[in-house]
Structure 1
Amino acid sequence: MAIMKLVFLVLFFHHANAQTLSTNFHRYSCPNLEGIVSRTTSKFISTTPSLAPALLRLHFHDCFVRGCDGSVLLNSTAGNTAEKASFPNLSLRGFQVVEAAKAAVEKQCPWMVSCADILALVARDAVFQIKGPFWPVPLGRRDGIVSRANEALANLPPPNFNITQLITSFGAKGLSVKDLVVLSGGHTIGVSFCSSFATRIYNFTGRNDADPSMDPAYVAELRRMCPPSDATTTVAMDPGSAQDFDVDYYSMVRQRRGLFQTDAALLDHSATNSYVQQHSTPLGSKSFFDDFAASMVKMGRIGVLTGRAGQIRKICSVVN
């Protein structure tokens, strides 16, 4: 009986460990992992800083569909339309950075590190390299082998969600109201196509009107930059500091200059509104950086595959 209990305990702890991410997961299997990924990411960000918000968005879009399993990286096949071909993902960029980091890792640690882990590291490094926050990335994810376009549509919150829908969407992924307002702060970097908010400035209620919650002067600015039906022009989500990771985004939201309805919606809930007000000055930068780091670690754990689930893909765009 004692031997059986011992065997049970060994198996139990092995299973528990297999389900747990750890910053030390690749300490022995790939000790230079983080340096390899950081150097590779830096080569891209140093010449094209706009890839930083793109890579952050790529990580977000991966985690919100099937969890952080690298499924957003998979290409469509003859019998399947993958997530990256779904409408919300058509503007995703940065795949080449993940592939380059994966190739560099494979040279030193073949078949050891998942694409999901590499994407999580690349997103962190890209943000840090444009002077954003740094956070420890727990590792040990496995790659998924399923990627479906319709699941992206069903799981990614669109830019016209109201605050109730946003809270529900984030809550379904185990993220709190605070995580919602903190992660929305990622809009401090990057750009958006005019088509993503065109209805808000041209035909909000179907009567050729603009969203009344938006600053009229800002509406006029956006209309000058975005003619009706414009599908190619991009505008900064945080005008004036779109390449700087800072708290200016919250200032814009407070001034009713959030680009999306999801930005404006942060003023419609007591907790999110309070955060916006408190962090809309430079004095809020330190706590925002700390909060963003914590929320990114939390987001990076959504629905992860561990142990023997999934696989370690050799090439991130195809299953083995």
Structure 2
Amino acid sequence: MDKQKTGELIKSARIKKGYTQVELGDLLGVTNKAISRWEKGDSFPDISVIEELSRVLDIRIQDIVIGDVTEPDSETAVTEVVRAVKLQDKVKKRKFISSGVSCIAAGYMLVCGWYSFRGQADNSILGYLTVSLAIMIAIMLAGEKSGGVHMHNGNAGGRVYNIIGFASMGYCFIMMIACSCIFNNHEVDLWKIARYIGKIINVQLIIVFVLNLAVLVIQDYINEHKYEGVMSEAYSLVTACFMSMMYACFLHTLSDIHSFNKYIMIIAVVAVIEMLAAYFISFRIKKHNWSFEK
């Protein structure tokens, strides 16, 4: 079974019949986006619509499954149909698991954000957030490994997501450096940090957190519906969320102005190291899969 060949077969049959993607979608009871994904080879028609698709386009079911109009023997056709059913069952399970993991992860990050930005945590939460970031990245890597290599890897959309994450991390770091310069140059009292400057920075950190979490959720939704349940690969978005939480927690628990610069750097270095490790492992996963496929 070859999704690319099946997609080309569906496209040529649709054009031969004179249907647009919207018209074919209306006849089958699916969206034109679903038709587009089939024709691009991003996904495979669900078994429940293959019979109707065969009737509408006047092509045999076995040709759709195999992606070729040659004359395969009946045993090959049956084998490919069974294989398609098993594959789609696997995809549905992966989508269900991916959706569940994404919801739990987003919920956990919201709880962490609630405690971090409201100042309801002590110094120990910095360690918890560091470990949580590592666990979140590990879950994403596991989802990527189980999902395999897909066509959307490295596409324009993925680059935009990562740019948002990198820019957010840089913005958080620059804010804290600017805050450090103010403290060092003007000898601002600790109580003024908490009451005035700290609140302004905290609001900006909340905005960074919400923006990156929202983009991460959107990307996960697109991946699950367009790329068969593959989890998000924009590790920079997750890192930006946790980096904003760690800085907010640091501001709320700050007790020694002289250690400010040191902890700014420590938080940034730890977050960046975990993120770079994730991208390196992700690269190795892709390279291994590509080599295996070849």
TM-score (norm 1): 0.25
Task: From the CA coordinates, give the structure whose radius of gyration is larger.
Answer: 2
Larger helix fraction of residues: 2
Given the two structures, how large is their TM-score scaled by the length of structure 2? 0.27
- Higher normalized contact order (CA 8 Å, seq sep 6+, divided by chain length): 1
